[in-house]
Structure formats: structure tokens, C-alpha cells
Amino acid sequence: MLRIILIICFFLATKLIAAQEGNKHDAEIHFDNSKVNYLKFTVTSPDDFETINWNDLKEIVQNNKEEDVVELEFEINLPKGKNIKKGNLSFKVKDTTKNMEKIIQKSKKGIKRISRITNNIKKQINEN
């Protein structure tokens, strides 16, 4: 008889625990209305642009509406040379979210151009 009572108590306890676990709420955050319109990347070397994960950029703007405008800015802080003042080179790319692939392509082209300019400036600094 004691064995039957223990089995029933065990059975009820497991049912109560299972029922409580079924009511647990997982901590989830949903941003239904968030959107990203502007991102700026500032580096000191053109090589630093190679660390940009373009797929992450696509994920960042995935909650935007297709007609939302996205602007990316890329900036390199230039070193100071004998005949060159310290300064910055930058460019911006702007389009709608539905054209994110175009934004990325234009950004990559701009990065190549700004990297060439920066490398030429560094050569001039090293020659002086």
C-alpha cells in the first residue's frame, strides 16, 4: 500500500513539474518596427575594410521596408606626413533597402578607390 501511495505521489509530482515547465516563457526580443538607415565605418588602414562582413550588413537591414533609404559611409583617417596634413578620406553610398546588393557593390568599388588613394599617400609620406 505504501508503494502505491509513493508511486501516485511521484506521478503527480512529475505532472505538476511538467505543467509548470510548459508555462515557462522564453526570453525573446522581437523588433518588429526597427530599421537601420545609416552606418559609418571609420578605420585607420584600408586593410581594416576587409573585415566587413557584407552578409551581416544584409541582416542588419532585413527588417527595413524595401523603400527605406540606407546610407553607408566609409572613412579612413590619414596619417600626417611632411607635406600632407592629417585628414580623412570618406565616401557615402545611399539607396533603398531593396537595392542592398547595389549598395554593397558600390561600397566595394569605393573601398578599392579610397584604398588606392590612401596607399599612394602613404608612399608619398614614406618617400619624404
Confidence band of 81 (pLDDT split at 50, 70, 90): low
The residue behind cell 546588393 is 101
DSSP 40-80: EEEESSGGGGGG--HHHHHHHTTTS-TTSEEEEEEEEEPPP
Q: Are 116 and 89 in contact (CB under 8 A)?
A: no
> Is 69 part of a structural domain of the chain?
yes
The residue behind cell 506521478 is 11
> Which comes out higher in pLDDT, residue 44 or 106?
106
Confidence band of 120 (pLDDT split at 50, 70, 90): confident
Confidence band of 23 (pLDDT split at 50, 70, 90): very low
What's the pLDDT at 27? 45
Q: Are 103 and 72 in contact (CB under 8 A)?
A: yes
What's the pLDDT at 89? 86
For residue 97, the enclosing domain spans 38-127
What's the pLDDT at 77? 85
The residue behind cell 509530482 is 13
> Is 20 part of a structural domain of the chain?
no
User: Which residues are bridge partners to 75 per DSSP?
Assistant: 42, 90
Residue 25 scores a pLDDT above 90: no
Name the domain count of the chain: 1
Order of strands, sheet of 69-77, starting from the edge strand that comes earlier in the sequence: 38-43, 69-77, 88-96
pTM of this structure: 0.68
88-108 confidence digits (pLDDT tens): 889 999 999 999 999 999 999
